[in-house]
Amino acid sequence: MTLWSGRFTASMDEALWKLSESYSFDHVLYAHDIAGSVAHVRGLRAAGLLTSDECDTLVATLEQISTEFEQGIFERRAGDEDIHMAIERRATELAGTVGAKIHTARSRNDQVATTLRLFVRDALSEIARQTLTLTETLVALGQRYGEAYLPGYTHLQRAQPVLLSHHLQAHAWSLARDVDRMIDARRRLNVSPLGAGALAGTSLPIQPSVTAGLLGFDEPFANSMDAVSDRDFVAETLFDIALLGVHLSRMGEELVLWTTSEFHFATLGDDFTTGSSMLPQKKNSDVAELARGKSGRLVGNLTGLLVTLKGLPLSYNRDLQEDKEPLFDSVTQILVVLAALDGAYRSMTFDVAAAAAAAEDDLLVAIDVAEALVAEGVAFRHAHEMAGALVGRAVREGRGLAEVVAADDRLAHLASLFAPGAALARRRSPGASGPLAGPEQLSRLRERLESLRTRL
């Protein structure tokens, strides 16, 4: 028997049941749904729709149901279409007529919107927290190899030397923006839909502001139709996770490159690498590849939801039930990736010598030759031309750029530009990649991470 059996003479066909039921995936919402129901019954009490005793009975009943879930002994019955109906059914079983009052002045439409906002609010906090942990791991790794440097790349061609800490902090800044975005999304979603009913509110004297306050929402909804149909917060969350996933994917791609024999900049710990079922010598960076691979699915979840939402007329439509699986999947997967990538960076050994050797490529000093000429009064475009001609000659003659410069009478005084580490040391403008510019950057990043942590 369903909760709406009063209106029907035949029970639901099995084929429709399979399409309609969502308990199989939305049972994970039990804690948030119960929290919403506890606030709802207190609101009913405040409105005089329940006595104090009835309210106490229902709160105790809901707490018992919560314990049943926590102990894994809650039993789903035939007819429990979703988590909301399962909990109401059980409350009625336990509390009799009082249980039958729990859904007064409420629809599953405002209920599910409330439950989902509570779930997303917590999920965003958890993801943001774990993202901050990863930024701190990146900063610590950079500090552990304080003087290590590598070539910085553009177009994946060696461009200029950069400190490892500078490189890792570049990723930390993008992750910091992800955290900022999630905190922002969390603030925007913090509006209570409870009390909107099916779509148009109710004739009963409830005060949505009461339940909003109890649930820690900043305010109640202003428009009941918007309250039950709005899933912007799910779309925003899926976007925030997708973009975070794209950042983690780029980091994964970089780890794949760094750990190849060709680059050989880094090695991951044995506990964060995998072997091959056939090739005995293999030590694979699967963790990085999966971080890269998962991003496709995260983008897919966002795209799927946007397509679901597109074209829905006001207000609630059952299509909205399709918001849950992509949301749960993205939340679960991003947390798995964040934890694994964090572990991978913690396990990483950086090959300081190999990276420095790659960064000591003579040609990376070409810009320093041009800038030294600028410092001597040559117009930059002419200096670029001169340095370019020297590079051309070096490449054609198969000689090092340092050698070509030293051999040129007018430029011999620039030979010191090629001393090991000298090019890196000269990257000193604010925000640049060298050690002189490092401390200020680090303190700016630390300040940002600190303020994000406070806002969390």
Pick the piece of the chain touching ligand ARG (CB under 6 A) from 63-71, 242-250, 313-321, 334-342.
313-321
User: What is the per-residue binding string for ligand ARG in 78-97, x denoting contact by CB under 6 A?
Assistant: ----x---------------
Which amino acid is residue 375, in one-letter code?
A
* Cβ density class 15-31: b for 16+ within 10 Å, e for less: eeeeeebbbeebbebbe
- Residue 65: its H or E element: helix 52-70
Is 155 catalytic? The answer is yes
Candidate list 155, 203, 261, 277, residue with the active-site label: 155
| Six token digits for residue 339 | 């934890």
| Residue 108 near ligand ARG by CB under 6 A | yes
Nearest to 133, CA basis, from 349, 347, 341: 341
Per CB under 6 A, contacts with ligand ARG among 19-48 are 22
Nearest to 148, CA basis, from 349, 347, 400: 349
Cα separation, 373 vs 382, whole angstroms: 9
Query: 305 in helix, strand or coil?
Result: helix
Number of residues that bind ligand ARG (CB under 6 A): 9
User: What is the per-residue binding string for ligand ARG in 145-184, x denoting contact by CB under 6 A?
Assistant: ----------------------------------------
| Residue 321 near ligand ARG by CB under 6 A | yes
| Residue 18 near ligand ARG by CB under 6 A | no
Beta-sheet strands, E only, within 312-453: 349-350
Which amino acid is residue 374, in one-letter code?
V
Nearest distance, CB of residue 119 and ligand ARG, angstroms = 12
Which amino acid is residue 392, in one-letter code?
G
Is 384 catalytic? The answer is no
Pick the piece of the chain touching ligand ARG (CB under 6 A) from 32-40, 234-242, 316-324, 362-370.
316-324
| Residue 351 near ligand ARG by CB under 6 A | no
Pick the piece of the chain touching ligand ARG (CB under 6 A) from 132-140, 314-322, 350-358, 424-432.
314-322
Nearest distance, CB of residue 22 and ligand ARG, angstroms = 4
Pick the piece of the chain touching ligand ARG (CB under 6 A) from 181-189, 272-280, 318-326, 418-426.
318-326
Pick the piece of the chain touching ligand ARG (CB under 6 A) from 201-209, 317-325, 327-335, 343-351.
317-325
54 vs 230, which CB is nearer to ligand ARG? 230
Q: Which of 37, 57, 109, 441 binds ligand ARG (CB under 6 A)?
A: 109
Q: Is the Cα torsion angle 258, 259, 261, 264 positive or negative in sign?
A: positive
Long-range contact pairs involving 49-55 (C-beta distance under 8 Å, separation at least 24): 49/101, 49/104, 49/105, 49/204, 49/205, 49/206, 50/98, 50/101, 50/104, 54/98, 54/101
Place of tokens 């209920």: 111
Q: Which of 112, 148, 189, 417 binds ligand ARG (CB under 6 A)?
A: 112
Angle at 301 between CA 298 and CA 303, to 5 degrees: 110
| Residue 144 near ligand ARG by CB under 6 A | no
Q: Which of 128, 320, 364, 373 binds ligand ARG (CB under 6 A)?
A: 320
Cα separation, 208 vs 397, whole angstroms: 80
| Residue 285 near ligand ARG by CB under 6 A | no
Candidate list 20, 24, 276, 416, residue with the active-site label: 276
112 vs 287, which CB is nearer to ligand ARG? 112
- Residue 154: its H or E element: strand 149-154
Residues within the interface to ligand ARG (CB under 6 A): 22, 82, 108-109, 112, 316, 318, 320-321
Active site residues: 155, 276
